[in-house]
Amino acid sequence: MMRKILLVVASLWSVCTASHAQDRAECERIVHLVAEAVGAGSIEGVEPFLAPGFMFSGQEGDRARSVMKLLVEQLDDRVERIEMLRAERTERGLELVCAFTYAGALGRKEATFLFDGKNRLERLELFPMRVETLPEEEDAFVGPSSGRLDVPVRRLGNLLAATAFLDGRERTFIIDNGAPRLMLNSSRYGTDRDTAALRISSSKGVNSSIGGMDIVEVSEFDFHGIRAERRRFLAFDMSHLEQETEIFGLLGYEVYKDWDLLFDYEGGTLTLLDPTVTDACVASLTGGRPVTEVPIEMEGHIACVEACIGERMLRLGIDCGAGADLLDDRLWESLRPALAGRRETTLTGADAEARRVRSAKVKRLKIGDREFRRVPTVFNDMSHLNRSLKRGLDGLIGFPILSGQKTVLSYRSGRLIFLP
């Protein structure tokens, strides 16, 4: 009888051990999926394995998923090595502690994974951090009652600069409707950095993601009557944009989203129009001459337009912060017949990262019935930007297109208008 009992106990132990081993193997597989997600810049492959009450760095549920998504998108790093340090079964489930060795500046960091009884990831601490997020504020800015604001601008290279008052002092900013927010230059305006805090946002640079961000509070901001008081804004190092001029930040979409924009590079003016007066302004400027008018579609803060290069119809974002037009590098070969002077060059984006990229002149680019010739264009990987967009973009149009004539970008009525 004793022999039978021992055999039964031994058999049960074997089954439990095998079950635990199987659970651990599945959990370790998910650990590797998280590492792969970091390298891919996307948590899509991990999301099916997250528990309903998933926690990430002090955040829970949908907020935890959002924070993890943004962090992974912005790390711009990859895991070179995974070491399993210890495994412990707790009342809440299996806890695995691993060491991730990153290829970049993060180096070797311990990560803690807690799995529930269904092998779902219940809690993840990727590395020690305190997450600080900047909430969306629909009414951060209050505008004047005027029907139009004529803003003097000057060119800094191929970018447009204007002045605004920051805490009572007149400062120079880059106008960049490709940026979602007002963003400050931390090298000119900021506080002592808290290295234990991780700041994240949905903001993207041309090349990759923007790292090293802070969140700072501004007492007063005034851009020609568009005002904000006691607001918090993102700040990151923009010293790479400075040459002979001190730059205090980027004037992004949220500053003027309620206005239509009239770009006049030659006249040195950016006119902000109340949408109710836009048509009258265009008629006054053209004297009845025909204009080119095409529809735009908004992707978040980015206005998008259809354009034709060769036989290809492309979807391009309108970005006055782009000194050159940009196309996704996957188009480099397929557009070869439509390109002249193909070569490699260096592109530095808002994240200060310089990369070798391909460049060429697009022989003919057509938007509506307006044709642009020999358009300077760089080709670069746009996957980092397209991850956050529903339909994605094939490229961006900037200075080469917008500076060729007076141009109206009407957010309210959904139009891009090229004046004669």
Q: Do 298 and 384 belong to one domain?
A: yes
Q: Which of 128, 159, 192 is the last residue of a domain?
A: 128
284, with CB counted inside 10 A (0-12, 13-18, 19+), is exposed
* In the predicted structure, residue 350 carries a pLDDT above the cut 60: no
Greater pLDDT, 256 or 62: 256
| Choice between 136 and 140, residue whose per-residue pLDDT is larger | 140
Give the structural domain span for 199.
148-260
Percentage, residues of the chain above pLDDT 70: 85
Give the residue-averaged pLDDT of 380-408.
88
Query: What is the distance between the alpha carbons of residues 120 and 52, in angstroms, rounded to a whole number?
Result: 9
Residue 326 belongs to a domain with what CATH number? 2.40.70.10
Please tell me the total number of residues recorded for the chain in this structure.
420
Query: Mean pLDDT, to the nearest integer, of 300-310?
Result: 93
Is residue 244 over pLDDT 50?
yes
Least confident of 215-229, 239-253, 260-274, 350-364: 350-364
Q: Say how far apart CA 401 and CA 132 lie, in whole Å.
A: 38
Distance CA 197, CA 214 (A): 9
Q: Are 68 and 108 part of one and the same domain?
A: yes
- Going by C-alpha positions, the residue among 168, 166, 197 that lies closest to residue 183 is 166
Give residue 135's pLDDT.
62
Is pLDDT at 206 greater than 70 in this prediction?
Answer: no
Q: Is the pLDDT of residue 6 over 80?
A: no
Same domain, 56 and 156: no
* Per-residue confidence (pLDDT) for residue 19, from 0 to 100: 42
Q: Which 8-state DSSP code applies to residue 387?
A: T
Count of the separate structural domains present in the chain? 3
278 is a domain residue: no
| Tokens matching residue 18 | 């095998």
Q: Which of 330, 329, 328, 358 is nearest to 343 (CA)?
A: 358
Q: Is residue 300 part of a domain?
A: yes
Element (H, E) at 22: helix 2-40
pTM comes to 0.71
Residues 124 and 174 in one domain: no
Domain boundary among 99, 128, 157: 128
Q: Sign of the CA dihedral 120, 67, 212, 161? A: positive
Same-domain pairing of 321 and 378: yes
CA atoms of 85 and 124, how far apart (whole Å): 15
Query: 57 pLDDT band (50/70/90 cuts)?
Result: confident
Phi and psi angles of residue 53, each rounded to the nearest 5 degrees, phi first: -100, 35
**Residue 227 and residue 315 share a domain:** no
Residue 268: inside a domain = no
For residue 17, pLDDT over 60 is answered with: no
Residue 280 is assigned to a structural domain of this protein: no
For the cut 70, the answer to whether the pLDDT of residue 137 exceeds it is: no
In a domain, 105, yes or no: yes
Whether 271 maps to a domain, the answer reads: no
Residue 27's nearest CA partner among 126, 106, 110, 114 is 114
Same domain (yes/no): 292, 408? yes
Query: SS3 for 305-318, per residue?
Result: EEEEECCEEEEEEE
Least confident of 111-120, 243-252, 372-381: 243-252
Residue 13 banded pLDDT, cuts 50, 70, 90: very low
d(CA 213, CA 184): 10
User: Where would I find the beta strands (DSSP E) of 144-264?
Assistant: 148-152, 154-156, 159-166, 169-175, 183-185, 197-200, 214-223, 226-236, 249-251, 260-264
Are residue 320 and residue 247 in the same domain, yes or no? no
**Is the model more confident about 162 or about 198?**
162
Q: What mean pLDDT value characterizes the chain?
A: 84
> Per the domain annotation, does 313 fall within a domain?
yes
Locus of tokens 């806890």: 95
- The residue-averaged pLDDT of 36-64 equals 90
The answer to whether residues 111 and 152 belong to one domain is no
- Residue-wise pLDDT for 164-175, tens only, equals 999 999 999 999
104-130 tens-digit pLDDT? 878 899 999 999 999 999 999 998 876
347 & 232 share domain: no
Q: Is 66 exposed, middle or buried (0-12, 13-18, 19+ CB in 10 A)?
A: middle
**Do 225 and 293 fall into the same domain?**
no
Assess if residue 138 is contained within a domain: no
Provide mean pLDDT across the span 354-376.
91
Do residues 297 and 343 both lie within one domain?
yes
The neighbour count for residue 116, using CB atoms within 10 Å, is 16
Residue 307's contacts (CB-CB under 8 Å, 6 or more residues apart) are 313, 314, 315, 316, 365, 366, 367, 397
